[in-house]
């Protein structure tokens, strides 16, 4: 049973997740974030409402019984690297779903997924391990989101979209139905994707164009 949550990485996204975890704990009497991992022990100074114990850098972490880690890193490659380092140390990982998010009964969430406020994961969607779905984003029916991907706020993946692993979608990006986004692709803020996207491509603007 998880009784204590640890957040890995302490940028702005981590401060958001600390709030969302508190909301989730209040709603379900679940575990709260009590410590953080970061190279900078003063990462939360200037934010007096975050009274968390600094536990050292990732490589200093020694898991304890009842602990689980939430990875608060948006960049997919950096997130993957941090997860690998934590796995080497025997870390367990938590999935965080904000109480205002809507998760269909037939949807599947992988390990370490983060679903932020008012996000939607629709019927028969499959969300891979360590995917982050930010505020007001929508994962449509039958969508498959590859592991370590990040959806920024207001992203819309419409029905039957499939993404590879390590995909990053900027705020307000939209992907039309049944398209495929190749692994490692980056879709810029506000882009509307109207054709399938190759592996490692970078797209921006509307309609989306390759950079």
Tens digit of pLDDT for each residue in 70-119? 999 999 999 999 999 999 999 999 999 999 999 999 999 999 999 999 99
Percent helix, strand, coil in the chain (nearest 5)? 15, 30, 55
pLDDT of 29 reads 84
pTM: 0.95
Handedness of CA 105, 111, 117, 121 (dihedral sign): negative
Same domain, 25 and 90: yes
Residues 76 and 44 in one domain: yes
Q: Give the Cα separation of 125 and 148 in Å (integer).
A: 16
Q: How far is CA 199 from CA 59, 86, 158, 184, in A?
A: 31, 27, 19, 6
- Tell me what pLDDT residue 7 has: 97
Residue 204 domain-assigned (yes or no): no
Residues 18 and 83 in one domain: yes
User: According to the model, what pLDDT value does residue 209 have?
Assistant: 67
Read off the tokens for 84: 């690998």
C-alpha closest to that of 2 among 57, 64, 52: 64
Last residue of a domain, one of 49, 67, 94: 94
Question: Quick one: 195 and 122 in the same domain?
Answer: yes
CATH number at residue 77: 3.40.50.20
Q: Which residue has the tokens 């190759």?
A: 198
CB-based contacts of 75, cutoff 8 Å, min separation 6? 150, 168
Mean pLDDT, residues 151-166: 98
**Whether residues 74 and 105 fall in one domain:** no
Do 87 and 100 lie in a common domain? Answer: no
Determine, yes or no, domain membership for 210: no
The strands making up 96-97's β-sheet, listed across from edge to edge, are 96-97, 114-115, 132-133, 150-151, 168-169, 186-187, 202-204, 209-210
CATH code of the domain containing 143? 2.160.10.10
Strands 209-210 and 192-193: unpaired
Residues 123 and 70 in one domain: no
Q: Is residue 207 domain-resident?
A: no
Which range of residues forms the domain containing residue 165?
A: 96-199
pLDDT band at 175 (very low <50, low <70, confident <90, very high): very high
Has residue 32 been placed in a domain? yes
Q: How many domains does the chain have?
A: 2
**51 domain residue, yes or no:** yes
Pairing of strands 144-145, 126-127: parallel
- Domain edge (last residue) among 94, 109, 124: 94
- Residue 188 Cα to chain centre, angstroms: 17
The answer to whether residues 104 and 188 belong to one domain is yes
Chosen domain end from 40, 71, 94: 94
pLDDT band at 49 (very low <50, low <70, confident <90, very high): confident
Are residues 100 and 148 both part of a single domain?
A: yes
Write out the H or E segment, with its range, that includes residue 26: helix 12-28
Are 43 and 117 found together in one domain?
no
């Amino acid at each position: 049973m998880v009784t204590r949550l640890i957040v890995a990485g302490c940028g702005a996204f981590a401060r958001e997740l600390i709030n969302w975890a508190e909301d989730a704990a209040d709603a379900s009497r679940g575990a709260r974030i009590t410590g953080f991992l970061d190279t900078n022990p003063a990462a939360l100074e200037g934010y007096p409402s975050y009274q968390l114990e600094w536990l050292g850098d990732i490589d200093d972490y020694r898991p304890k019984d009842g602990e689980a880690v939430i990875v608060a890193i948006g960049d997919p490659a950096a997130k993957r690297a941090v997860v690998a380092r934590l796995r080497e140390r025997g870390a367990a990982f938590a999935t965080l779903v904000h109480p205002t998010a809507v998760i269909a009964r037939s949807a599947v969430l992988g390990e370490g997924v983060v679903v932020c406020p008012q996000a939607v994961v629709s019927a028969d969607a499959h969300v891979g391990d360590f995917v982050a779905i930010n505020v007001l984003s929508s994962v449509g029916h039958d969508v498959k989101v590859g592991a370590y991907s990040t959806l920024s706020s207001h992203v819309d993946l419409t029905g039957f979209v499939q993404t590879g692993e390590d995909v990053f979608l900027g705020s307000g990006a939209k992907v039309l139905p049944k398209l495929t986004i190749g692994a490692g692709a980056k879709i810029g803020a506000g882009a509307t994707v109207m054709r399938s996207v190759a592996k490692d491509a970078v797209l921006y603007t509307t309609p989306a164009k390759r950079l």
